Amino acid sequence: MKFLTFIFITLILALQYPLWFGKGGWLNVISLQKQIDQQLKVNEAIKSENDILLAVVQDLKNGTDVIEGKARFDLGLIKKNETFFLIIDKKN
């Protein structure tokens, strides 16, 4: 009788092993779920960057405000009838 009990317990453990430690086991599923959650966070950050870039592209296609702002900031654009003031910081 003890031998039969031992065989049944061994059989139950053998059947449980793939459920817990196999390729589709619970431990692997939990690990994959953590990876999915991390990737979703990365995707959300990239999506927000893409939305900002898309808005800039649309503004460049439809308006001149971004182009003018970049020209003023990067190239020092001054329009006609504008006065340019250069303020020098004496701290440096």
The pLDDT confidence band at residue 37, using thresholds 50, 70 and 90, is: very high
Query: pLDDT value at position 71?
Result: 81
Flag whether the pTM goes above 0.95.
no
Query: pLDDT value at position 92?
Result: 61
Q: Cα separation of 16 and 8, whole Å?
A: 12
Instruction: Give the list of residues 6+ apart from residue 66 with CB closer than 8 angstroms, or none.
Output: 56, 59, 60
The pLDDT confidence band at residue 47, using thresholds 50, 70 and 90, is: very high
Query: pLDDT value at position 46?
Result: 98
DSSP state of 82: -
Q: CA neighbours within 13 Å on the CB side: how many for 65?
A: 7
